[in-house]
């Protein structure tokens, strides 16, 4: 099994400090402290043998909880300090970005690291920043509810994703889609290109027509990796997402945690992949994301989980519907999906958090048994390929974070790596 360390990342501080120093996201000293924490933790993860480090891609978080505004820039710094660990944005929100800039920047990072890069793309669910940065399309943040805005975002996302892979594979790129044209305007072409003689002699054949009109572009550089970068899809919960990732060879990072539902999604991924000519075993090319907390006793670990990852879900992620990933079969009658009835706040309990096997808290041996069950896809003779640890950097102290990382590195990695 491969292991991915996932941070938001977060500007360090207690809830009281966040209120006192608001907006802590613009506090220079605390931002520097976050960078130093990330550097120290990622170097530790690299030396321990973690395969990948990942962060989100979000903007305008004055509260400092997801201070992940420029992941590719951050990875460039971290890559220069490490030797083998790879990096993955989970994920770049394509509808709020220019797909060609994303293709270029990931390819440059791939060269700088000589192949230590995964792609990771998402559709965007946070209105505060998606609406602002996506205004030229336009797109808005949206829950994955199948509504018109959701469908619109999906179309933009899928078109932009296709453009990125074409930019990496095609020496001459041309595209006329619903939301993007290459060149622009596509039918007319780009008529003012004074350096046409230079391009005709040294550029990509086909960029110019006989009248020196630009009819295509050549995106540089090609990625260092050949074939190009593998990609993650965070955080997968729906069957439609699983089907699309399986068809295209993308690695879904599955947030759905309840063992029967997790097994079902892994089986669906395997079956659709096999239908598309990829002979995969159960769990292959699939990632699970889970929270982990170690303690000398189970209660000590549960207490740590409660004040870190669980608090984040209660205070923050709950508003975006993330608790829906922790449904069980018993919820179907009280909170049906048709008509859609979300889990109410009284169901957002620590017992549910742990009971569906998302929050893994206990002694080293207890956590080890939980990860073993997940590795086996909960008894279905599977072999999960990726384990993503949602690591609460910035919420716990740096000393506690280092202790947790050391325990994982000493007791978990050797068992499953």
Decide if 265 contacts 239 (C-beta within 8 A). Answer: yes
**Paired strand residues for 360:** 292
- Please give the model's pTM, rounded to 2 decimal places: 0.96
Confidence (pLDDT) at 380? 80
Map residue 42 onto helix, strand or coil.
helix
CA distance between the termini of the chain = 5
Decide if 331 contacts 297 (C-beta within 8 A). Answer: no
Please, what are the domains in the chain? 2-90+230-416 (3.20.20.30), 177-217 (no CATH)
Residues 251, 254: Cα–Cα separation, whole Å: 9
Decide if 64 contacts 17 (C-beta within 8 A). Answer: no
Residues 409, 48: Cα–Cα separation, whole Å: 6
73: CB partners within 8 A, 6+ apart: none
pLDDT per position in the chain (417 positions), as tens?
A: 999 999 999 999 999 999 999 999 999 999 999 999 999 999 999 999 999 999 999 999 999 999 999 999 999 999 999 999 999 999 999 999 999 999 999 999 999 999 999 999 998 889 998 999 999 999 998 777 778 988 899 899 999 999 999 999 999 999 999 999 999 999 999 999 999 999 999 999 999 999 999 999 999 999 999 999 999 999 878 898 899 999 999 999 999 999 999 999 999 999 999 999 999 999 999 999 999 999 999 999 999 999 999 999 999 999 999 999 999 999 999 999 888 899 999 999 999 999 999 999 999 999 999 999 999 999 988 999 999 999 999 999 999 999 999 999 999 999 998
């Amino acid at each position: 099994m491969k292991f991915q360390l996932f941070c938001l990342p977060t500007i360090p501080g207690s809830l009281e400090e966040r209120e006192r120093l608001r907006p802590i996201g613009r506090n220079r000293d605390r931002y520097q402290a976050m960078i130093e924490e990330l550097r120290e933790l990622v170097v530790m993860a690299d030396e321990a043998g973690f395969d990948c480090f990942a962060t989100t891609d979000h903007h305008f978080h004055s509260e400092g909880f997801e201070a992940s505004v420029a992941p590719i820039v951050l990875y460039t710094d971290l890559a220069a300090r490490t030797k083998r660990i790879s990096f993955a944005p989970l994920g770049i929100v394509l509808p709020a970005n220019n797909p060609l800039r994303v293709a270029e920047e990931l390819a440059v990072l791939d060269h700088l690291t000589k192949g230590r890069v995964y792609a990771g793309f998402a559709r965007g669910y946070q209105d505060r920043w998606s609406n602002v940065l996506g205004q030229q399309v336009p797109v808005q943040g949206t829950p994955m509810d199948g509504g018109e805005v959701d469908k619109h975002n999906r179309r933009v996302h899928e078109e932009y994703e296709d453009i990125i892979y074409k930019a990496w594979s095609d020496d001459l790129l041309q595209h006329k889609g619903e939301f993007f044209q290459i060149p622009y305007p596509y039918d007319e072409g780009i008529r003012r290109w004074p350096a046409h003689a230079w391009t005709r002699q040294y550029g990509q054949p086909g960029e110019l027509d006989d009248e020196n009109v630009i009819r295509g572009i050549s995106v540089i550089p090609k990625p260092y990796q050949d074939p190009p970068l593998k990609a993650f899809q965070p955080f997968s919960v729906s069957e439609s997402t699983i089907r699309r990732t399986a068809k295209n060879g993308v690695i879904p990072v599955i947030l759905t945690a309840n063992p029967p539902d997790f097994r079902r999604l892994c089986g669906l991924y395997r079956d659709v992949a096999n239908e598309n000519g990829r002979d995969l075993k159960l769990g292959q090319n699939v990632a699970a994301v889970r929270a982990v907390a170690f303690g000398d006793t189970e209660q000590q670990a549960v207490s740590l989980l409660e004040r870190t990852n669980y608090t984040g879900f209660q205070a923050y992620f709950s508003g975006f519907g993330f608790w829906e990933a922790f449904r069980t079969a018993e919820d179907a009658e009280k909170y049906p999906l048709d008509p859609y009835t979300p889990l109410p706040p009284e169901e957002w309990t620590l017992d549910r958090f742990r009971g569906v096997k998302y929050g893994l808290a206990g002694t080293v041996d207890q956590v080890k048994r939980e990860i073993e069950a997940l590795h086996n896809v909960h008894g279905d003779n599977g072999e999960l390929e990726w384990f993503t640890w949602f690591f609460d950097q910035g919420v716990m102290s740096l000393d506690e974070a280092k202790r947790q990382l050391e325990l994982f590195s000493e007791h978990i990695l050797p068992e499953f790596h």
